[in-house]
Structure 1
Amino acid sequence: MTITIFLLIVLGTGVAAIGFSRARRRTSMTEWAVGGRRFGSVLFWFMNAGEVYTTFAVLGISGYAWALGAPAYLAFTSVSLSYAIGYWLMPKIWAAGRKHGLITQSDFFAARYQAKWLGVVVGLVGIAALVVYVQIQLVSLGLIVRLTLGSTLSPTGAVLVAGILMILFVFVSGLRAAALSAAVKDILMIVAVVVLSVMVASRVGATSIWDVFRLAEQQHPGIGKFPGLDPSSTTTTIWLITSGLNVALGNWVFPHLFQVAYAARTGTSIRRNAIWQPLYSLAYFFIILLGFGALVARTKPAGGDLNAALLQFVSDKYPPWVLGLVAGTGFLLALAPGSVLLLTSGSLFARNVIVPLRPGLSDQATLWISRLSMVGFAAVAVWLTLAQNLSLVTILLSAYSAIGMLAPGVFLGFLWKRVTAVGVLAGIVVGFVALLAPFAKAFWAAALPDWEPGLIAMLVNAAVTVIVSLLTPAPDRDAIAVGVEQKVAA
């Protein structure tokens, strides 16, 4: 029953998504990478949510609640703040992309700062952050494949299978295939969370949903307050605030969300989504509930892997058909976003690393370089996944810390006429030193132990960007028009 429902969900969605995308016109770089810029309100809704609500939302947050307790509340703060920022920022990104024919995030940097070399730098930083982000999806896919196939597949084999499936999904069909699968998985995610939540009290010996929280607090005093289950942890309220800000400021700076913004048909579609999609954050209440339920049920995932806590809980306490629903939904939760992450990495590499070196490449050649480079980036992500054993939340915060180094260049590009390419580059370099250098890590740990290091590095980056921009020649009017003077029409 479990495998049957799992295969019906995955294969049915895959066939429908590929058919949906292939029914369109001949594939070009614009069609493959940004869906021909034709996503209306409904399709854009699911595509945008599909890139925000991944397996991190379900497996990562429930696992964090199971292992740490209150720090899982990070999900509530970061999502609401992200959409408040996205309401202002994403329409501007869309307008710049439509007016200037931009396809990647690096295209924006190259045009806004009139520096192709900066586009190359930004492309490499973006690829690095995306490859780290792909780890979240690979870890999740690997867990789900092992859950459905049992001991017939090793952990290494599960991750390899996950990487191959992710590549195949968008290799030919591009962004449109991911968009349809995102619609299916969003609907299934709501169904799965509702089914699990309705049944959770009876599965853990509680009288109601609220009683699950009471039992969790009774068994683990302080679980609902910061810093959570570990009194010595740095996950205090200051950590919550700084981590939430870091995620919110970095969210729309991810290269794949630039491409999602470019794909919208109108600016109105983007604004409408930003108004209503914070309602999705209400689902986190039930996801955290399930994490607490797994704790009350004394769920013990193999090796104490918090990423597998929810899957193990469902496997132990729920009927096989529910496990099949959760496994199939979780598979799509990882496959759709992970595929777009790889697609974006390929787009950046081809358009913003290779094309500047070989400017005469045709559109079709660029498209094939994008597709083939995805294989290499997937291989790197698989290697990182097998070499590390980190929680999904830890991987997520690492990815946001890396992409946060591009945030000052994006925000200042739309806010301040005076910002320059040299200033942005200086900020990126100094920001990475503040984030990664051992002496900097030691200093921040001693001076600001509760702060999210990524936010500290982002602030250092922004300060350096402003100072160096004031000391270097101002950009000309054509460059400024790409950002600050960009008008957002419907």
Structure 2
Amino acid sequence: MIRMMILLIVLGTTLGAMAYGRAKTRSKSLEDWALGGRKMGTLVFWFLNAGEIYTTFAVLGISGFAWAYGAPAYLAFTSVSLSAAVGYWLTPRIHAYGRRHGLITQADFFAHRYQSRWLGMVVACAGLIALTVYIQIQVTALTFIVRLVAGPVIGGTWAAVIAVAVMLAFVFLAGLRSAAFAAGVKDVLMLIVVAVLAFGVAGMVGASSMLDVFARVQDLYPAATRFPGLQPHAGLSLVWLSTSAINVAIGTYIFPHMFQLCFSAGSSETIKRNTVLQPIYSLSYFFIILLGFAALLAGTRPEGGDLNALLLTFVVQHCPVWLIGLFAGTASLLALVPGSVLMLTCGSIFARNIVRPVWRDMDDRRELLVSRCSMVGFAAAALWLALGASASLVEVGLSAYAAIGMLVPGVYLAFITRRVSGLAVMAGLIAGYAVLWVPMIGKALGAIFVEWEIGLVAVLCNLVVTLVAMLLLPAADRGAK
């Protein structure tokens, strides 16, 4: 029954998404495939935007983080609300600039705003690296589900291959519109599942209510309810929480796929309404953290101590068969929808900002074909990363935010001042990536900024270098309006 429910949910949503997407997609251009014709309305855009927040990182990752570390999982509450506040100012500006100049990708934005094709290619490469790491999160989570469905018949490698293949099927033909359909199905199902689990979890662990679950955790594991949590040596203090939340907030809408989502909106009002309502989603983290704490009380131990599999293990051990199937099928969509959008974005960037500048006479039809085919390569790269991964989904997610955060100064300054140049942005990028990737520099700054999220330290170094370069470079090197 479990396998049947999972297959029914996944296959039903996949077929429905492909049919919906194909019916709505008339043009054979990259713009229509990757942006849905720039006509996404309030409801569709809500599901797409929320779909990029309510992912396996949120559900499987945060619940496992709460089980393993305790209070540091509260990062989820702060980061989503702060992201929405930042997004209210930033995303309408991204949308307006993209519509005014007919942009499709984030790299298009940098190339046009700073009048620098080479900077666009550099940003494209940076975005592809961060997106591939982010796809790894979704592949890892979906692999758990595939193994649950298939049992011991399929090993981890083949389970991951199947997971990647299903992700590709979601958007290969119909593009963003198919992901929008699936995002709506996923969000509705997930809210139902989380509510059912949350209201029944007290009985599963012998508590009298949801609040009693927290009270029992406080009595039995007092370190879990305060910072630095269950593992003090991990350095997850209030300083870490504050700096990580800020880094996530300023970086959420800097991801290349979030740029494309902004470009896809029908109007700036659609975006503003979504950012006003988006913090509602952060309320669901109360229930997700509750489930992680309940697993702690129940003594749940996932196979191999893998905290990414914690919630799935807890559900399998304590829930009826029908609920296990519903949860696993819905969790599959949590990985499939964001993963497919990420792959679509990778394909768009590769075709438009890596291949097209070299292949000057490439027409729209060939550009779309290159974009679709290149997704296979990025899927393979994410598969390779997932097979060798051992870190938690939250840790992998924060590393992706750190990598993409290097584009923060270039985006924000683009809407604040006309003085910043492409060369100044490039100087900042070099400085920021040096902090992240040169161990000696990272360790030296880590000794100064104790327990800070290293991604935020890198962003600050990037910003300082960018501002200094802006003041030193000739005034003639300006960007486009």
TM range (shorter): over 0.9
The amino acid across from 1:20 in the alignment is Y
1:85–1:249 Cα contact (<8 Å) kept: yes
Shift of residue 476, structure 1, vs aligned partner: 6.8
CA distance in 1, matches of 2:397, 2:440: 23
| Structure 2: runs of 5+ lacking an equivalent | none
**Map of 1:116-155 to 2, 5 A cutoff?**
116-155=117-156
Residue aligning to 1:347: 348
Residue aligning to 1:484: none
Residue aligning to 2:3: 3
Runs of 4+ with >3 A deviation: 474-477
**Map of 1:33-182 to 2, 5 A cutoff?**
33-182=34-183
The amino acid across from 1:17 in the alignment is A
1:290–1:310 Cα contact (<8 Å) kept: yes
Three-state SS of the structure 2 residue aligned to 1:260 is: helix
TM-score (norm: length of structure 1): 0.97
Note the alpha carbon deviations across 1:6-43, whole angstroms, 9 max, x for none: 12211111111111111121332111111110100000
Note the alpha carbon deviations across 1:150-198, whole angstroms, 9 max, x for none: 2121111111111111112111111100011001101111001001001
How many residue pairs get aligned? The number is 480
Residue aligning to 2:225: 224
Tell whether 2:25 aligns with 1:13: no
Shift of residue 388, structure 1, vs aligned partner: 2.0
CA distance in 1, matches of 2:184, 2:475: 44
The amino acid across from 2:271 in the alignment is I
Three-state SS of the structure 1 residue aligned to 2:222 is: coil
CA distance in 2, matches of 1:341, 1:33: 11
Residue aligning to 2:23: 23
1:420–1:475 Cα contact (<8 Å) kept: no
Note the alpha carbon deviations across 1:42-69, whole angstroms, 9 max, x for none: 0000011111111111000000001110
CA distance in 2, matches of 1:337, 1:232: 33
CA distance in 2, matches of 1:473, 1:3: 64
Residue aligning to 2:272: 271
The amino acid across from 1:223 in the alignment is A
2:112–2:480 Cα contact (<8 Å) kept: no
Residue aligning to 2:206: 205
Shift of residue 231, structure 1, vs aligned partner: 2.3
Note the alpha carbon deviations across 1:110-164, whole angstroms, 9 max, x for none: 0000000000000000000000000110010001111222212111111111111
CA distance in 2, matches of 1:167, 1:95: 30
CA distance in 2, matches of 1:147, 1:440: 43
Three-state SS of the structure 1 residue aligned to 2:361 is: coil
Shift of residue 351, structure 1, vs aligned partner: 0.4
Equivalent pairs: percent with the same residue? 54
Shift of residue 356, structure 1, vs aligned partner: 0.8
Residue aligning to 1:393: 394
**Map of 1:167-316 to 2, 5 A cutoff?**
167-316=168-317
CA distance in 1, matches of 2:155, 2:475: 57
Three-state SS of the structure 2 residue aligned to 1:417 is: coil
1:418–1:475 Cα contact (<8 Å) kept: no
| Structure 1: runs of 5+ lacking an equivalent | 482-490
Tell whether 2:376 aligns with 1:375: yes
TM-score (norm: length of structure 2): 0.98
Three-state SS of the structure 2 residue aligned to 1:232 is: helix
CA distance in 2, matches of 1:480, 1:216: 56
1:420–1:473 Cα contact (<8 Å) kept: no
Residue aligning to 2:456: 455
Residue aligning to 1:485: none
Shift of residue 446, structure 1, vs aligned partner: 1.9
The amino acid across from 1:389 in the alignment is S
1:197–1:286 Cα contact (<8 Å) kept: yes
CA distance in 2, matches of 1:223, 1:436: 32
1:178–1:339 Cα contact (<8 Å) kept: yes
